[in-house]
Structure 1
């Protein structure tokens, strides 16, 4: 009998009597920082807790991992996102895993923090609403969700500097000015116009169309997103105007 067969047999016998509850298992959740742009301001989706602990306090959407439904952390995050917004986001990214003995009064807990970008017109759960990020930062948050929001905003802005991620918020057709405005809203800073246009055109993340729209006294070229991943990386970071 080969070593691999011995190991397999040994594992089978071991697992017959193994009980996962022989060891302490921390509370395990996923939390979602879901962002959108509303009236030219970066917003985050927040909910009010409808049960104890910390009933009535503000929180990021999320919940416990379901061992029967969720085959992975990503699957749990997509499920919770769908429960809160009724859509499946094309882009969902894990930001960080956080855990300790004090973040949840119920006991030792771990959460996997994710962020997503969606259209703010998406229908929401009854206890959910959009709030500007700068206002949400000062809410009376449940658990450590104020810190989780800060981590997610930092990741979103970092990704916006060197990837095509914000294009996921654009309509089918858009001008380069409109695209730049979305980048600027997320970053909280202006971008040098010529540099931005050269960057997105040279990278091929947008494609010109035969259409245009009136912009002031002139007509502006309309573009569409190229068939690239939203995680497309620019050769170098965007030039931010401080």
Structure 2
């Protein structure tokens, strides 16, 4: 008799709220753990999905109303104890979006929880989130991935703050700006300034078009 293996997709959707990393959780509508907050997830649809990325995009859209510009595969979690229904395999993806993207979706089933306030979650979702945060902290040291948390436009002070939140550490202003310049992924919006309080107006930036298009291919490894 061929054993039945549960094949699912889970997505870790992270954003920044109140200067802290938050994860999007949704209420489970069916057993097991019905009514509990958990990561957006679902079964692989063999006839509908061409691959796991298709599954992840479909699941995230159905559960949250969001289609992110960037989705990266984290890793595969498997075992006979992670799901009370039996032996299971879950391919996990993660995405970073600005807070306004989640607010615009306005899905009442979605709640944002500070990653430092997470307690027990269904299945192995707490471990999955911790693994994702570790991946992001690692990639923030050398990549432009945190830029997706900034929204369509941003100032350099705002972008530096986002990197610091992702890294969990403060950064030297000069070194940070040198690193951003070397990556060559953002450009100034001519004539646009952010005026906040009595401080000096800050220039406003956006991702360069060619780089934004590259990221929209949803390829990992950036």
Structure-2-length-normalised TM-score: 0.87
Q: Report the equivalent of 1:161.
A: 141
Q: Distance in 2 between matches of 1:144 and 1:171?
A: 30
1:104 and 2:83 aligned: yes
Q: Distance in 1 between matches of 2:149 and 2:121?
A: 27
1:147-174 C-alpha deviation (Å, 9 max, x unpaired): 1111111112212221101212223332
- Tell me the matched-pair count: 210
Which of 102, 115, 122 is equivalent to 2:104?
A: 122
Conserved in 2, the CA contact under 8 Å of 1:96 and 1:114? yes
Q: Distance in 2 between matches of 1:126 and 1:174?
A: 28
My pick for the range that moved more, 36-45 or 222-231, is 222-231
Structure 1 unaligned segments of length 5 or more: list them.
1-21, 234-242
Correspondence list, 1:31-50, <5 A: 31-50=10-29
Q: Report the equivalent of 2:117.
A: 135
Q: CA deviation at 1:23?
A: 2.5
Structure 2 unaligned segments of length 5 or more: list them.
none
Asked which structure has the greater CA Rg, the reply is: 1
Q: Report the equivalent of 1:213.
A: 194
Conserved in 1, the CA contact under 8 Å of 2:12 and 2:93? yes
Q: Report the equivalent of 1:172.
A: 152
> What secondary structure does 1:183 align onto?
helix
The RMSD of aligned alpha carbons is 1.9
Question: Cα gap change, 1:39/1:31 in structure 2, threshold over 3 Å: closer, same or farther?
Answer: same
Q: CA deviation at 1:232?
A: 8.3
Q: Distance in 2 between matches of 1:93 and 1:209?
A: 28
Q: Distance in 2 between matches of 1:166 and 1:83?
A: 25
Higher relative contact order (CA 8 A, sep 6+): 2
Q: Distance in 2 between matches of 1:64 and 1:203?
A: 38
Q: Report the equivalent of 2:164.
A: 184
